[in-house]
Structure 1
Amino acid sequence: MRPKPPPGWDEIDEEIAELEAELDHTYRVIENLRLQNVQLKKQIDYLKKREKQQQDKLKRKRVPPPSSPTRKPKPRQASGKTPRRRVSKRRVKLSCLQFILLAIAVATIFTTLGLFVTRLIIQRPTRPSVEPSPTVPQTLYLPPSPPIFSDLPQAASQPVPSRLPGRENSEVVYNLTSPPNFQQSARLQAIVDEIVRLVAVRNFPKKPLSITLIDVKRQEIAGYRQNQLRYPASVIKMFWMTVVYAQIENSIWENESDFNIYISKMIQDSDNQAASFILDSITNTESGSKQSEAEFQAWLNKRQQVNRFFQAAGYENININQKTYPVYYLKLPEPKGIDLQMRGNPQNPIRNQITTDHAARLIYEICATGEAVSRAASEKMCGWLIRDLRSEVWKKQWQDPGDFNPIRGFFGESLTKADVKFASKAGWTSNSRQEVAFVATKDGETAYVLAVFGNDDAYANDGKIFPRISRLVFKRMRATN
């Protein structure tokens, strides 16, 4: 039996961990600035070297060869007037060269800074940049064109998944027809209640908070407002991935590998462009202009198949048929045209809605039991959701402070020193923060699923509360197993 820590030790331990997290964040910012400074210095040094080489080259041209005779100065004219002095063309050329090199150096520096600022604006999900009005197709449906991901080496030749002949309008449903049979647990409920007290003490609102906690080994569950439908942000992309693999298993698509680059960007990087392309592909729809009522209903019926896929399996009242924004390759910083038409009343728009129970159940069926779609499909899907918590890996992968980082500010940040298997999907907007994760220790003693949705500005703007919640749950689950 493990000895009990002295009173107040948990609070001290948490404060130390928080200070370590703040210090680590400061180090990250300093390191990013140092890297930027190094890059700028390299560019300046390179330009200086080129300028020196040009100057040396010009000097060599001005010096006459040793064998050439020295020119004698021309005698003055008889009139006594001094001939006009010629302006050296070489000196003028040298001055122009220096000016050009200086202009190039200044332009390079400003271009680098501009790209850096643009990357911050585009990548930050809370501040989508303003885009011009989209050019929309006039027909109801066109085969989707692959988006261009500027940071991929094969951006110019993205694969376009193709449906098999005769499967253009085929629809599939989830293979699991009912939810898992979990038992309510007082032990887990005590942990959930402790999370609620933690957020309340730190002045976070409780009403927009939802929690689901599942003990995988004991088949037990507990929660707080876990059946409240809430906006899931990018957590929804895990559901679209499941539909993709169900369609692949049902022989709707020619090549599974054509989806890999899109699934990777959608799940690993939470890319909205890849997610938009996948949603269009699996529903055989496309964003476009507003349609007549008859055309809209036909389009909506196709888009609704992602809802029917899960609703038939007991995911009650789930709605996952709307894209996540901004989608820059379609010039959609926000819903427009038929996507806006689908939202209905602007005063009370229809949006994606799921519960933490929905999210927890799906990742449980993917990573814990391997029953989602099939054993092979579950292994592939869980593989996409796996996060490498080693600091030297995820800090290097997401160096830019403006990037969406699925570990920094989320559950994984406080588990970087724990020896665990960690699979997750996080979401983050200007007024919400969400995450669902499967956590299993390598010794096999502890395995659980945690889903937390905080649909309020307070959760969105605080990068410490989710790591604190995760650390608390991990400690309690380890202590009770």
Structure 2
Amino acid sequence: MFFAEQEKWSSLCRDAVSELLSRYGEYGLNEGTFGLVALRETEARRAPAGFAFNGTWKCYPCSLVKAFHLVHVLRALECGEVDRPDDLDQAIRDMITWSSNTATNYIIDLLTHTTGDTALDPEVFVSWREKRENLNRFFEKLGWPEWAGCNITLKLMGDIRYGREAQLAGSDGSNLNVLTPLAGARLFHELFSGDLPLSAQAREMAQQILFRDRTRVDAALPSYQVSEFLGAHLPPEARIWSKAGYTSWTGDPRTSYYRHDLVRIAMPSSKPVILSVMSQGEAISEHGPRIFPEIGDFLFNRLVASFS
């Protein structure tokens, strides 16, 4: 495990999970529909204090995959593996800042030299699928145990899939995108304190793009991914880096009603905390614009402010 278990931290986190399940059980939050990984960072290059509840839960990740594509595309640019068209920098920022599916799918095309369109003949599809697998292989090569069983090869859609994207997902949905709370937490830990294969410049760029500046005039917009997620009620002095994801009804029950947030919170007087929160269910998802800010406020008071 990439984190160290510390009894005080684990006890605080266990109590917090128990209370959250009690508070929001009426909305369908339970041991099968909720996952939380909480990390308290220490000095750079040292294992953080960590806790996982349902950390290996494999679920549809919505837009959390975009944080992974951010790291991948920055590395590919450094290595000269992709061209840099004039609109790529804007697409990278829109993918994270506004969670643009269009920008994300454009970046996937550039990274894999594929396009999504009509269905392909079987022999052509095999070659196309192999190129898409580069999205997974990038993270497989990092050797993270937390990556096991994850998949981020599919484009981002607001409804059901057609053509070659449906072929890739599989008729039974067995190849839909999948992440775990642990995989998300590992990504953020490595990006801020670990050993991702990025230069200092690229790492700083990724961190800047993920930073949520709540003084912006448009920061209250839902698409900025703060007002309806964990960071909504945090104090002004809290610095936040995040990538959230959400689906309502998509036309496919396997990808519908998820709400997630991956957030790093830093206060001036305490160690930064990373929270990887995933949830599933119509009630928790649809009431999420109220519930997730409440969860964020609760976890902040229990796990961040208590160490100030």
**TM-score where L is the length of structure 2:** 0.87
Alpha-carbon distance in 1 for matches of 2:174, 2:4:
36
1:358 aligns with 2:183: yes
Which residue is equivalent to 2:107?
Answer: 278
Which residue is equivalent to 2:277?
Answer: 452
Sort the Cα spacing of 1:344 and 1:303 in 2 relative to 1 into closer, same or farther, 3 A.
Answer: same
197-206 or 405-414, which deviates more: 197-206
Residue identity in the other structure for 1:299: W
Which residue is equivalent to 2:230?
Answer: 411
| 1:227-376 map, 5 Å | 227-255=56-84, 258-313=87-142, 314=144, 315-326=147-158, 333-346=159-172, 348-369=173-194, 371-376=196-201
217-226 or 354-363, which deviates more: 217-226
Alpha-carbon distance in 2 for matches of 1:342, 1:310:
19
Correspondence for 2:265 among 413, 418, 439 = 439
Residue identity in the other structure for 1:424: S
C-alpha contact 1:311 1:318 (8 A) present in aligned 2 = no
Alpha-carbon distance in 2 for matches of 1:299, 1:305:
11
Correspondence for 1:428 among 246, 250, 257 = 246
- CA shift at 1:317, angstroms? 1.6
| 1:15-26 map, 5 Å | none
C-alpha contact 2:61 2:177 (8 A) present in aligned 1 = yes
Correspondence for 2:5 among 171, 181, 184 = 184
C-alpha contact 2:225 2:243 (8 A) present in aligned 1 = yes
C-alpha contact 1:188 1:213 (8 A) present in aligned 2 = no
Alpha-carbon distance in 2 for matches of 1:192, 1:230:
22
Alpha-carbon distance in 2 for matches of 1:287, 1:362:
27
Which residue is equivalent to 2:295?
Answer: 469
Which residue is equivalent to 1:142?
Answer: none
Which residue is equivalent to 2:305?
Answer: 478
Residue identity in the other structure for 1:210: G
- CA shift at 1:418, angstroms? 3.7
More RCO (CA 8 Å, sep 6+): 2
Alpha-carbon distance in 2 for matches of 1:391, 1:414:
16
| 1:30-429 map, 5 Å | 181-193=2-14, 194-202=16-24, 203=26, 204-206=28-30, 207-217=32-42, 219-255=48-84, 258-313=87-142, 314=144, 315-326=147-158, 333-346=159-172, 348-369=173-194, 371-390=196-215, 394-395=219-220, 398=221, 403-415=222-234, 417-429=235-247
Residue identity in the other structure for 2:306: A
**TM-score where L is the length of structure 1:** 0.57
Alpha-carbon distance in 1 for matches of 2:92, 2:121:
33
Structure 2 segments unaligned to the other structure (5+ residues): 249-256
Which residue is equivalent to 1:65?
Answer: none
Count residues with an aligned counterpart: 287
Residue identity in the other structure for 2:9: L
Residue identity in the other structure for 1:472: F
Alpha-carbon distance in 1 for matches of 2:123, 2:236:
55
Matched position secondary structure for 1:411: coil
**Deviation readout 1:85-115 (Å, 9 max, x if unpaired):** xxxxxxxxxxxxxxxxxxxxxxxxxxxxxxx
Q: Share of identical aligned residues, percent?
A: 23
- CA shift at 1:256, angstroms? 7.4
Matched position secondary structure for 2:110: helix
Matched position secondary structure for 2:231: helix
Alpha-carbon distance in 2 for matches of 1:455, 1:283:
30
Alpha-carbon distance in 1 for matches of 2:18, 2:115:
41
Residue identity in the other structure for 1:435: D
Structure 1 segments unaligned to the other structure (5+ residues): 1-178, 327-332
- CA shift at 1:370, angstroms? 7.1
Alpha-carbon distance in 1 for matches of 2:121, 2:231:
47
C-alpha contact 1:366 1:379 (8 A) present in aligned 2 = no
Matched position secondary structure for 2:149: coil
**Deviation readout 1:110-130 (Å, 9 max, x if unpaired):** xxxxxxxxxxxxxxxxxxxxx
- CA shift at 1:393, angstroms? 5.1
**Deviation readout 1:153-203 (Å, 9 max, x if unpaired):** xxxxxxxxxxxxxxxxxxxxxxxxxx7x31112323233322342232332
Alpha-carbon distance in 2 for matches of 1:318, 1:293:
24
Residue identity in the other structure for 1:428: Y
280-289 or 189-198, which deviates more: 189-198
Matched position secondary structure for 2:155: coil
Matched position secondary structure for 2:232: helix
Residue identity in the other structure for 1:229: K
Residue identity in the other structure for 2:22: A
C-alpha contact 2:101 2:156 (8 A) present in aligned 1 = yes
Alpha-carbon distance in 1 for matches of 2:177, 2:78:
26
Matched position secondary structure for 1:183: coil
